[in-house]
């Protein structure tokens, strides 16, 4: 007999929903339990029956979350919940109510039409802040090389492990859980023509699946390929013979190296008191908030923008290729991972500044180049009449820029570029 119905409190139903997800081997159920404990059980909405929950009740709950101060920041001052935290809590409730509707406990899901305030999204810190630029990537890799050399004798499980994991994560875009659950039987280095990694687990455990629920093959190239070959040779010497089991181990054979990679409890200028990944970031001069997952974002941006061509000989990739590398279900998710100024608008603006130059992002334009471009354009304008310049040069440059932007635009952006091109051509035709 089913002990749940429309009179079941939301907190009880949320726990039942999470237990159901655990039985069906869903991921991140521990985080779901934490969300229920923090945002639902201790809130009045936890005692509301699921049959009495309406959209206004959910909006009032969201309003309480928006003014809630969950903890104090490490550097002093209270921190409110971020947009992503509130959105995750709302999504969890929405999924649980959908489950209740499918089981026949409620007639409709009231959370389907509830949206967060747009003002909260505008004032939130965007996750692109953690994307590393080419110079920051070089600085971080240099620091990791130094840390690995310092720990080579006294702590060989610490510095060299961190260096290898970061280089492979940055070079392939693999998630942290996928790297820590990686085993040697999934690493294929024997075929020099196409070495690859088979990602079968999203976290440690035999029953842990990937985020998409199916395995994917990740090709090894550039920095990640050299890092994996170097790590494989090091493990052969460390344990004698071909390595087996986990690829990245802790101090003891078979243990995970999590503690010295992610643990950090103190924000200070004294780098010796901040272990692991955060310590490497601080020594590299990167003081803003950068998560380990931001290495995945940095990989996607670097491949799309072609940042690794000079260092590793890796040319720019298409978004479809990056989508397959990261294992995204849609190209829209891959576009969220691209944190650059190489959009249609910036390429068109760069082409207008120098119509003969190829479309590039503003970061690649140095002050010297801008000065020479402005001086050459001044010479050109002085050698032609004002009427010729205004009637021919400017419209043609804008039109050419829009044509190049149209060629580089995605399917969703082409209609906007076509509209701008039509307006530019109409303006050009109206000139005397």
Domains in the chain, CATH or no CATH each: 10-124 (1.10.150.130), 134-336 (1.10.443.10), 344-429 (no CATH)
- Give per-residue pLDDT as tens, 7-50: 999 999 999 999 998 888 787 788 899 999 999 999 999 999 99
Q: How far apart are CA 395 and CA 379, in angstroms?
A: 19
Q: What's the confidence (pLDDT) of residue 80?
A: 73
Rg (C-alpha) for the chain, rounded Å, is 27
Q: How far apart are CA 389 and CA 279, in angstroms?
A: 56
Q: How far apart are CA 223 and CA 172, in angstroms?
A: 9
Distances (CA, A) of 258 to 20, 229, 264: 29, 22, 11
In the numeric block, the tokens 């760069």 are attached to 350
Confidence of residue 362 (pLDDT cuts 50, 70, 90): very low
Structure tokens at 278: 């955060």
Query: Who's near 150: CB < 8 A, 6+ residues apart?
Result: 159
Confidence of residue 79 (pLDDT cuts 50, 70, 90): low
Q: How far apart are CA 176 and CA 295, in angstroms?
A: 10
67 or 146: which carries more pLDDT confidence? Answer: 146
**pLDDT over 70 for what percent of the chain?**
65
> Which residues, listed in sequence order, are joined to residue 199 by a DSSP beta bridge?
216
- Give per-residue pLDDT as tens, 285-315: 998 888 888 999 999 999 998 899 888 889 9
Predicted TM-score (pTM) of this structure? 0.67
- Please answer whether residues 161 and 261 qualify as being in contact, where contact means their C-beta atoms are separated by less than 8 angstroms: yes
Residue 197 confidence (pLDDT) above 60 = yes
Structure tokens at 319: 């978004």
- Please answer whether residues 247 and 241 qualify as being in contact, where contact means their C-beta atoms are separated by less than 8 angstroms: no
In the numeric block, the tokens 């906007």 are attached to 416
**pLDDT over 90 for what percent of the chain?**
34
Q: How far apart are CA 9 and CA 23, in angstroms?
A: 22
Q: How far apart are CA 211 and CA 328, in angstroms?
A: 10
Confidence of residue 273 (pLDDT cuts 50, 70, 90): very low
């Amino acid at each position: 007999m089913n002990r749940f119905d429309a009179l079941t409190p939301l907190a009880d139903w949320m726990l039942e929903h999470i237990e159901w997800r655990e039985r069906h081997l869903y991921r991140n159920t521990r985080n779901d339990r934490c969300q229920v404990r923090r945002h639902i059980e201790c809130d009045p909405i936890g005692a509301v029956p699921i049959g009495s929950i309406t959209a206004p009740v959910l909006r009032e709950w969201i309003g309480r979350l928006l003014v809630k101060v969950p903890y104090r920041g490490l550097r002093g001052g209270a921190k409110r919940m971020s947009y992503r935290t509130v959105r995750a809590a709302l999504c969890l409730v929405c999924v649980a109510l959908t489950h209740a509707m499918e089981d026949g406990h409620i007639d409709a899901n009231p959370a389907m039409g509830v949206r967060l305030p747009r003002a909260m999204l505008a004032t939130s810190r965007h996750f692109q802040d953690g994307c590393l630029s080419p110079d920051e990537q070089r600085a971080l890799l240099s620091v990791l090389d130094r840390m690995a050399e310092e720990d080579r004798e006294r702590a060989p499980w610490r510095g060299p492990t961190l260096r290898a994991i970061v280089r492979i994560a940055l070079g392939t875009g693999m998630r942290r859980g996928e790297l820590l659950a990686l085993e040697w039987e999934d690493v294929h280095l024997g075929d020099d023509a196409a070495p690859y990694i088979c990602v079968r687990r999203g976290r440690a455990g035999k029953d842990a699946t990937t985020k998409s629920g199916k395995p994917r093959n990740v090709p090894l190239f550039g920095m990640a390929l050299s890092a994996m070959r170097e790590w494989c040779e090091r493990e052969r010497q460390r344990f004698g013979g071909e390595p087996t089991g986990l690829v990245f181990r802790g101090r003891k054979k078979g243990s995970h190296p999590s503690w010295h990679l992610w643990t950090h409890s103190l924000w200070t200028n004294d780098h010796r008191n901040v272990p692991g990944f955060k310590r490497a970031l601080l020594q590299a001069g990167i003081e803003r908030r950068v998560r380990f997952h931001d290495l995945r974002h940095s990989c996607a941006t670097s491949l799309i923008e072609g940042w690794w061509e000079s260092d590793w000989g890796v040319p720019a990739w298409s978004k479809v290729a990056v989508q397959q590398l990261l294992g995204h279900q849609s190209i829209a998710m891959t576009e969220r991972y691209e944190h650059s100024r190489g959009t249609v608008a910036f390429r068109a603006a760069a082409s207008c500044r120098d119509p003969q130059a190829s479309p590039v992002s503003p970061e690649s334009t140095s002050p010297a180049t801008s000065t020479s471009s402005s001086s050459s354009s001044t010479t050109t304008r002085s050698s032609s009449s004002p009427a010729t310049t205004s009637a021919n040069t400017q419209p043609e440059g804008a039109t050419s820029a829009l044509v190049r932007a149209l060629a580089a635009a995605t399917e969703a952006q082409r209609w906007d570029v076509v509209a701008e091109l039509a307006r530019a051509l109409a303006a050009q035709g109206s000139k005397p």
